[in-house]
């Protein structure tokens, strides 16, 4: 898959709450094939503290409209700057980067997302559903305030919520949701904070089902040149940007 | 027409733009983005006698106008390079230089010897300045005697163009440059990264697994320019300048300070097409300033 450097045009910035927003960006050329789990590396302009590009999960791809959606949380100066972009602004991307989640067929699949780690799971859910899988997403957030964009998932999956304060769905962490005790799943996928992903990996190992995690190590280039983003695997250090971000837990040293 | 060709003793470049080792992989990582044949040369990833896993994660921290890295020369060793990587990249229509590093003088010598036999590698860059390895690396490049001894021993076995990459982490870089010139270096490249550090105030933890790392990017450019200017006045061999070059204007500044050619490093991470843009920008500058030969600009700093 050829990697590209291209300008996109911002069509819309949808504010979900104070922290989270979605950037809808349109390509000038027809989009290449983009797989769930892949990411883009965006250039943040006019920010003195942001020297490197910012790697962001691909939240959704609409080939008909030729747009990509990015689900972003305002964390530092870079993401705050991205949160000021408005219609007509240009955004430079290096993309599509990284490998992809596996797409099995006709299985009962479980997707667990923590906080803004849920970003790649929407596009994954679409692909899984199209391959005949039954899709359940558990979204774990701090409180109902952070449970944003729930309707978007309903076209492709059942969506369950856990909140740390119990303000929506079940109280606790996503790996404590009752559905995990009451139902059997064939395949698990996760993205979010590392402690949560490790808990998902433990659940999958206990149930003896395959599990794929998406890592977000800090990186400089995003395409395998700098060797900064490595993670330790059973076969030595691997670049998260090219040999990941998606890893089968059996390959990691977790 | 302007003439971009550069002659570094026995190494001819079609233009002065090269890539800095460790920022350009083996060139293959950039094939989607640029025509590598448009560059004067590429410096492939630092290569050592034996396989190295490099340092643990985290290896990188962003800084204002730059970054720190502590990759630690992750590579599969020179034998793997000769057998697996070299056959894949030898067809590139540019000069391929291998950056050679080691923990002992024997490592450097053996690695250089093996690369000497590769037909399509016209030069090596001896890395006596890597700040991110426990043994060797920068230790060789921070004293005149050890820098001289490693160059002397490699010179005995390496018959092609021998470039030596200098560390800025020294009291007087001109002394090291003169020492390696005396032992037969054909050119010097400078600067490698500056030893730096980053801390997370919230967690009180260092941001790199190795605590310290190498600083690169535009924040180091004024230091690099100053050192190129100093070394230009101290030695007679050609200088390859690097350190924070982001565009053609930066590249021209290095050439005016005394560089015959330049390397682009960290900028490759932000714009993988930057090298080709710099070649075009240098050409444009030469037309605008009516400079026919790029070599006429080397050291052509005007008086105040």
Q: What are the residue ranges in chain A where pLDDT is below 70?
A: none
Residue ranges of domains in chain B: 6-56+73-195+214-297
pLDDT of residue B206: 98
CB B37 within 8 A of CB B94: yes
- A46 at interface of B, judged by CB pairs closer than 8 A: no
The verdict on A235 and A191 lying in the same domain is: no
For residue B272, which residues of chain A lie inside 8 Å, CB to CB?
5, 94, 221, 223, 225
B60-88 pLDDT, tens digit per residue, is 999 999 999 999 999 999 999 999 999 99
pLDDT of residue B303: 86
Residue in B25, B56, B217 nearest the CB of A224: B25
Domain's final residue, options A58, A76, A97: A97
Q: What is the pLDDT averaged over residues B221-242?
A: 98
Mean per-residue pLDDT over chain B, rounded: 96
Residue A103 lies in a domain: no
For residue A215, which residues of chain B lie inside 8 Å, CB to CB?
none
Residue in B33, B270, B273 nearest the CB of A52: B270
Q: What is the pLDDT averaged over residues B183-196?
A: 98
pLDDT of residue A46: 86
Residue A125 lies in a domain: yes
Complex ipTM, two decimals? 0.95
Architecture of domain B6-56+73-195+214-297: Alpha-Beta Barrel (3.20)
Nearest CA in chain A to B27: A225
CB A107 within 8 A of CB A134: yes
Query: Which residue in B164, B144, B143, B146 sits closest to B104, CA to CA?
Result: B146
- A254 at interface of B, judged by CB pairs closer than 8 A: no
Q: Looking at the annotation, which residues of B are catalytic?
A: 130
Tokens 């020369």, located at residue: B73
Residue A102 lies in a domain: no
The verdict on A119 and A190 lying in the same domain is: yes
Strands (E), B132-242: 161-165, 187-190, 194-197, 199-200, 205-206, 212-216, 239-241
- A82 at interface of B, judged by CB pairs closer than 8 A: no
- A1 at interface of B, judged by CB pairs closer than 8 A: no
Domain's final residue, options A97, A122, A146: A97
The verdict on A221 and A188 lying in the same domain is: no
Q: What is the pLDDT averaged over residues B267-272?
A: 98
- Cα(A167)–Cα(A121) distance, integer angstroms: 23
Q: Where does the pLDDT of residue B137 fall: very low under 50, low under 70, confident under 90, or very high at 90 and above?
A: confident
Domain's final residue, options A62, A78, A97: A97
The alpha-carbon gap from A28 to the nearest alpha carbon of chain B, in Å, equals: 17
- A219 at interface of B, judged by CB pairs closer than 8 A: yes
- Is the CB of A226 less than 8 angstroms away from the CB of B32? no
- Is the CB of B29 less than 8 angstroms away from the CB of A52? no
Query: Which residue in B187, B177, B193, B181 sits closest to B73, CA to CA?
Result: B193
pLDDT of residue B251: 98
CB A100 within 8 A of CB A243: no
Whether B231 has a pLDDT exceeding 80, the answer reads yes
Residue B288's CB is within 10 A of a number of other CB atoms, namely 8
pTM of the model: 0.96
CATH of the domain at A251: 2.10.240.10
Instruction: Give B285-301 as a 3 state SS string.
Output: HHHHCCCCEHHHHCCCC
* Total domains in the fold of chain A: 3
pLDDT of residue A55: 97
- Cα(A228)–Cα(B268) distance, integer angstroms: 14
Burial of B164 (0-12, 13-18, 19+ CB in 10 A): buried
- Cα(B236)–Cα(B188) distance, integer angstroms: 10
More confident residue, B9 or A70: A70
The alpha-carbon gap from B272 to the nearest alpha carbon of chain A, in Å, equals: 8
Whether B136 has a pLDDT exceeding 80, the answer reads no
CATH of the domain at A177: 3.40.50.80
- A59 at interface of B, judged by CB pairs closer than 8 A: no
pLDDT of residue B1: 84
For residue B30, which residues of chain A lie inside 8 Å, CB to CB?
225
Residues spanned by the domain of A124: 108-214
- Cα(B264)–Cα(B43) distance, integer angstroms: 10
Chain B interface residues facing chain A, Cβ-Cβ under 8 Å? 22-25, 29-30, 32-33, 45, 53-54, 56-67, 69, 71, 74, 217, 266, 268-273
The verdict on A171 and A249 lying in the same domain is: no
Report the DSSP beta bridge partners of residue A188. Answer: A110, A211
Residue in A5, A94, A220 nearest the CB of B67: A220
Query: What is the percent of chain B where pLDDT is above 70?
Result: 100
B74-129 pLDDT, tens digit per residue, is 999 999 999 999 999 999 999 999 999 999 999 999 999 999 999 999 999 999 98
The alpha-carbon gap from B190 to the nearest alpha carbon of chain A, in Å, equals: 19
- Is the CB of A230 less than 8 angstroms away from the CB of B272? no
pLDDT of residue A201: 98
Whether B254 has a pLDDT exceeding 80, the answer reads yes
Residue in A49, A221, A237 nearest the CB of B64: A49
- Is the CB of A226 less than 8 angstroms away from the CB of B69? yes
């Amino acid at each position: 898959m050829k990697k590209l450097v291209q300008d996109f045009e911002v069509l819309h910035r949808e504010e979900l709450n104070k922290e989270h927003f979605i950037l809808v960006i349109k390509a000038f050329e027809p989009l290449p094939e983009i797989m769930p789990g892949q990411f883009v590396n965006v250039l943040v302009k006019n920010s003195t503290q942001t020297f490197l590009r910012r790697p962001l999960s691909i939240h959704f791809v609409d080939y008909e409209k030729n747009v990509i959606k990015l689900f972003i949380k305002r964390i530092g100066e870079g993401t705050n700057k991205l949160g000021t972009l408005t219609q007509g602004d240009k955004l430079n991307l290096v993309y599509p980067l990284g490998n992809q989640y596996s797409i099995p067929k006709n299985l009962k699949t479980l997707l667990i997302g923590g906080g803004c780690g849920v970003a790649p799971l929407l596009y994954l859910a679409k692909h899984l559903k199209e391959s005949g899988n039954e899709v359940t997403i558990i979204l774990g957030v701090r409180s109902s305030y952070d449970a944003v964009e729930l309707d978007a998932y309903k076209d492709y999956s059942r969506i369950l919520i856990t909140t740390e304060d119990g303000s929506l769905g079940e109280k606790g962490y996503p790996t404590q949701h009752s559905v995990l005790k009451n139902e059997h799943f064939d395949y698990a996928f996760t993205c979010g904070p590392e402690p949560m992903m490790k808990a998902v990996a433990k659940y999958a190992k206990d149930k003896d089902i395959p599990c794929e995690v998406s890592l977000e190590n800090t990186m400089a280039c995003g395409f395998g040149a700098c060797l900064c983003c490595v993670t330790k695997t059973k076969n030595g250090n691997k670049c998260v940007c090219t040999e990941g971000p998606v890893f089968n837990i059996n390959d990691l040293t977790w | 027409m302007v003439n971009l060709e550069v002659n570094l003793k026995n190494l001819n470049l079609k233009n002065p733009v090269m890539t800095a080792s460790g920022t350009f992989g083996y060139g293959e990582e950039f094939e989607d983005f640029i025509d590598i044949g448009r560059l004067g040369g590429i410096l492939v990833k630092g290569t050592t006698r034996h396989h190295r896993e490099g340092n643990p994660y985290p290896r990188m921290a962003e800084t204002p106008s730059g970054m720190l890295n502590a990759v630690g020369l992750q590579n599969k060793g020179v034998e793997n390079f000769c057998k697996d990587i070299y056959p894949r990249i030898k067809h590139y229509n540019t000069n391929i230089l291998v950056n050679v590093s080691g923990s002992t003088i024997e490592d450097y010598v053996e690695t250089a010897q093996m690369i000497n036999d590769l037909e399509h590698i016209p030069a090596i860059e001896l890395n006596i300045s890597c700040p991110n390895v426990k043994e060797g690396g920068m230790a060789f490049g921070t004293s005149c005697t050890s820098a001289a001894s490693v160059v002397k021993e490699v010179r005995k076995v390496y018959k092609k163009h021998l470039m030596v990459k200098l560390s800025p982490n020294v009291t007087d870089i001109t002394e090291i440059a003169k020492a390696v010139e005396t032992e037969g270096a054909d050119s010097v490249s400078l600067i490698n990264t500056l030893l730096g550090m980053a801390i997370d105030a919230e967690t009180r933890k260092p941001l790199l697994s190795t605590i310290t790392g190498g600083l690169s990017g535009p924040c180091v450019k004024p230091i690099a320019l100053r050192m190129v200017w100093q070394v230009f006045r101290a030695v007679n061999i050609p200088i390859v300048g690097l350190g924070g070059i982001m565009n053609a204007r930066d590249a021209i500044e290095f050439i005016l300070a005394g560089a015959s050619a330049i390397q682009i490093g960290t900028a490759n991470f932000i714009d993988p097409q930057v090298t080709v843009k710099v070649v075009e920008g240098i050409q444009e500058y030469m037309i605008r300033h009516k400079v026919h030969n790029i070599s006429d600009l080397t050291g052509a700093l005007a008086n105040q």
